[in-house]
Structure 1
Amino acid sequence: MEMRHASTGACSRRACLGAVATWMLGLGRSTQAHAGGQLEEPLADAVRTALRAALGGLALPEPVFASTEARMAYLRWLVQMSQRLAPRQGDASVRRDFLQTAWYEAGRAGLEVSLVLGLVQVESAFRQHAISQAGARGYMQVMPFWARTIGDGDAGKLFQLQTNLRYGCVILRHYLDRERGDMAMALGRYHGSRGQHAYPSAVLAAQRYWMLGSA
């Protein structure tokens, strides 16, 4: 699936890598996450209803493939991504569950899984129980107000693997649709810094590392 990146600005590879390095340095200095500050905005009733529906059905993310070739491609991806994630998460079963869930939830939301992994890297450095200074929670640093606005009100569930990734992917998809495919603006809105380049550049630079065959 293709996503529009044309509006991300003229970010050279060196500048993008420098941006993500700055973000990672900041993350490494604290047990808190430094990202994740979506702003609470009023939602039209139709939008709120659609987002609630998009959250529904937390079925186990078991991959289903239309062909043997598709299954083999997924397994190659899983092996390569697991190897890349190993320095951050030493438990192979935890890596597998995380990657399988990220793959499932990204596809369900119509997002590139490499984008979701890049965002998780920048937001939480792959820490399930990360909490930002703004109070955002989990892998994708979801703000608790989302649980109240479109969920069942239980913000504690945002630390659960699939719930967190489901919320994060649904929210990013919502922002991307709202920005009419402009990825830089959508990422900025996700972070609460719409119109600024540092965060989108960091996420897109991190995304490159999680692309199959890129490393």
Structure 2
Amino acid sequence: MKNGVGVRALRSFAVGIALFCAIGAGAGSAWAGGQKEERLSDAVRLALAAQIADPSPPKPHFRSPQHLIGYLMWLATESARLRARMPNFVVREAFLQTVWYEAHRAGLEPALVLGLIQVESGFKKYAISSAGAMGLMQVMPFWTRQIGDGDVERLLNMQINLRYGCVILRHYLDEEHGDLFMALGRYNGSRGQAAYPDAVLAARKSWMVGNGGTLFASNNHSGR
């Protein structure tokens, strides 16, 4: 057995065990919706694929001391709120840092991303919906084929899942000309129905920090 094949086989086995344990513990339950696979133009597909493939690590960059202070205030506040759901400090801080980075990179509010995660997966990394959506942001596996490398298992990686989820939500926002209600419905596969967008927007309020949750938002999609 070649080393590459052996590593992949071991990883698949480990992921399978993790999924079995997560579902057995009740972590597999998630919102029942699922994003609908749509045909993407070549230009859109290539643009989204480039965003997914960007190797930049999830390290926030700060434009000014005030921006850094804002981030630290946000981190402390959200970490305290999240402690009951993620007791491990290291895991919690890494998660929040990645949420901040990926949200700002995609031009989204961190509060919106946290609200979506709360509704979609309840902050369960290995959650799987009845529609097959996976991970924290409940990404449908077909996205790995359309704009990724086809490796569905990677959707259970925290950073990769958040990258996909934020890029997809940004795409839907652009497609819906900034209409958040419609974009959220499209993300869930229930476009035009109120239940899911209302749930996410209600959860979003509980994660807001500062001026309506947008005090520290960047003016571009780079997070820088």
Q: What TM-score do the two structures reach when normalised by structure 1? A: 0.84
For 1:71 and 1:60, the matched residues in 2 are separated by 18
Q: Do the aligned residues in 2 keep the contact of 1:36 with 1:142 (CA within 8 Å)?
A: no
Of the structure 1 ranges 58-67 and 145-154, higher mean CA displacement relative to structure 2 is found in 58-67
Match of 1:102 in 2: 99
Counterpart pick for 2:209 among 205, 209, 212 = 212
For 1:82 and 1:35, the matched residues in 2 are separated by 28
Q: CA deviation at 1:185?
A: 0.4
Counterpart pick for 1:185 among 176, 182, 189 = 182
Per-residue CA distance 1:13-67 (angstroms, 9 max, x = gap): xxxxxxxxxxxxxxxx874212450001111111111111111223221122122
Aligned length: 187
Matched, 1:130 2:127: yes
RMSD: 1.6
Counterpart pick for 1:144 among 129, 133, 141 = 141
For 1:58 and 1:46, the matched residues in 2 are separated by 20
Match of 2:31 in 1: 34
| Aligned residue identity for 1:168 | G
Q: Secondary structure at the match of 2:117?
A: helix
Q: Do the aligned residues in 1 keep the contact of 2:172 with 2:186 (CA within 8 Å)?
A: yes
Q: Secondary structure at the match of 2:193?
A: coil
Q: 1:109-120 to 2 correspondence within 5 Å?
A: 109-120=106-117
Q: 1:1-215 to 2 correspondence within 5 Å?
A: 31-213=28-210
Of structures 1 and 2, the one scoring higher in RCO (CA 8 A, sep 6+) is 1
| Aligned residue identity for 2:31 | H
For 2:60 and 2:45, the matched residues in 1 are separated by 29
For 2:144 and 2:150, the matched residues in 1 are separated by 5
For 2:27 and 2:110, the matched residues in 1 are separated by 27
Q: CA deviation at 1:140?
A: 0.2
For 2:97 and 2:161, the matched residues in 1 are separated by 14
Match of 1:21 in 2: none
Q: Secondary structure at the match of 2:59?
A: coil
**Distance of aligned partners of 1:30 and 1:92 in 2 relative to their CA distance in 1, 3 Å threshold:** closer
**Distance of aligned partners of 1:150 and 1:31 in 2 relative to their CA distance in 1, 3 Å threshold:** closer
Q: Tell me which structure has the larger Cα radius of gyration.
A: 2
Q: Do the aligned residues in 2 keep the contact of 1:115 with 1:203 (CA within 8 Å)?
A: yes
For 1:30 and 1:139, the matched residues in 2 are separated by 11
| Aligned residue identity for 2:73 | R
Unmatched runs of 5 consecutive residues or more in structure 2? 1-25, 213-224
Match of 1:9 in 2: none
Q: Which runs of 4+ in 1 moved over 6 A?
A: none
